[in-house]
Structure 1
Amino acid sequence: MPPQMKLTAITLDCADPETMAAFYREATGFELHPKSGPDFAGVTGPDGLVIGFQRVDGYRAPRWPGQAVPQQSHLDFKVEDLDEAEALLLELGAAKPEHQPGGDRWRVFTDPAGHPFCLTRA
C-alpha cells in the first residue's frame, strides 16, 4: 500500500506576499499564518491547510486564458451565492476576466497577483 499523503500547503509565487495573504484572508475567512512576513505570508484554513505566498524577484503574472505567461495552476472555491461572492472579491481587488467559459456554473477571477482561480456553486 502506498504511503498516505495529506495535502498541508499550497504555495504560490508573487511579488507581494503580505498583500496576497490579506486578499485571501478577507476572501476566505482563513486565519493569517503566524509566520507571515515580507518574503512569505499565508492563510490557514480550519482544517490546517495553508495557502502560502512567496516573494519572487521579477515575478510575472499569469495571462489567463492566454499562454504567453501560463497559469501553471489555479485554485477552486465553492460558494453558496456566486453573485455575492463575486461582489466581495471585486471589492477586495480581484479581477474578472472577460473570457468566462463556465457559463452560470462557475466563474473565473484573478487575484491581485494575477493568479486565476474559480468559484463554483456549492
Structure 2
Amino acid sequence: MKLSAITLDCADPLALAAFYQQATGLEPHPMSNAGFASLGGSEGGLSLGFQRVAGYRPPSWPDQEVPQQLHCCFRVEDLDEAEARLVGLGAGRPEYQPNVSRWRVLTDPAGHPFCIIAGPGPTV
C-alpha cells in the first residue's frame, strides 16, 4: 500500500489550491473545479486535494473546539524566510508557537494548521 493523496475539507477548493500551489510549486490537476481541486500527483507522486464541504468550520488550533484532525508538515531551509513568504501568500500565524527555534505552526487560508520545519530534506 502506498499513500497517493491527502485531501483537506474547505469552503473554496480553488482558492485553497491556489495558496498551496504558490507555497509548494505543485502543479494543478486540469480537472480541478469549484467542488474539488488537486495539486501534484503526476507519475505516482503524492497529490494534495481540496474538497468543498457545506458549512465548513475551520479548525480552532490550539484549542480543540473544532479539532484539526490532520496537519501537514513541510521542510524548509530557513524558518524566518519561509514563514515570511507563506504569511505573504495568505497564511496565518497563531500566537501559540510550541517551539519556534525548530518549527513554526501556520494556518492556511481555510484555517488548517500546518508546520514548517527547519532541516535537511525535500523543502517547499
Alignment-derived partner of residue 79 in structure 1:
76
Task: Provide the C-alpha distance between the structure 1 equivalents of 2:29 and 2:76, rounded to a whole number of angstroms.
Answer: 23
SS at match of 1:19: helix
Identity, in percent, stands at 64
Structure 2 unaligned spans of 5+: 120-124
Aligned partner letter, 1:91: G
Task: Write out aligned runs for 1:1-122 (5 A).
Answer: 5-44=1-40, 48-122=45-119
User: Retained in 1: the 8 A contact 2:23–2:89?
Assistant: yes
Match of 2:122 in 1: none
8 Å Cα contact 2:97/2:104 also seen in 1:
yes
Q: Which is further off, 102-111 or 44-53? A: 44-53
Moved runs in structure 1, 4+ residues, more than 4 A?
A: none
SS of the residue corresponding to residue 77 of structure 1 reads strand
Question: Which consecutive unaligned segments of at least 5 residues does structure 1 have?
Answer: none
Give the TM-score taking structure 1 as reference length. 0.93
Root-mean-square deviation (CA), in Å? Answer: 1.1
